[in-house]
Amino acid sequence: MGEQLAIRRYEPRDKNDVWRVHERAFRATLPQFFPAMNRDLRNVPDAYLADGDFLVGEVEDEIAAIGGFVPVNERTVELKSLRICPDHWRRGYGRALIAALEDRMREQVYERVVLYTSEDLAASQSLYRNEGYRETSRKWHAEIDMEMVHFEKLLCNG
The residues spanned by each domain of the chain are 6-154
Please give the chain's pLDDT, 158 residues, in tens.
Answer: 458 899 999 999 999 999 999 989 888 876 665 655 677 888 999 999 989 999 999 999 899 999 999 999 999 999 999 999 999 988 999 999 999 999 999 999 999 999 998 888 888 999 999 999 999 999 987 777 788 899 999 998 65
| Amino acid at site 71 | P
Beta bridge partners of 152: 114, 134
Instruction: Provide the pLDDT for residue 130.
Output: 95
**pTM, full prediction:** 0.90
Q: What is the pLDDT of residue 83?
A: 92
Give the helix/strand (H/E) hosting 153. Answer: strand 146-154
CA distances in angstroms from 59 to 5, 88, 91, 92, 104, listed in the order given: 5, 9, 11, 12, 21
Domain 6-154 matching CATH 2.40.110.10: the answer reads: no
- pLDDT score at 33: 57
| Cα dist from 28 to 7, 21, 86, 105, 127, whole Å | 23, 11, 7, 29, 17
Q: What distance in Å separates the CA atoms of residue 85 and residue 23, rounded to the nearest whole number?
A: 9
Q: What is the pLDDT of residue 3?
A: 80
Count of beta carbons in the 10 Å neighbourhood of residue 155: 18
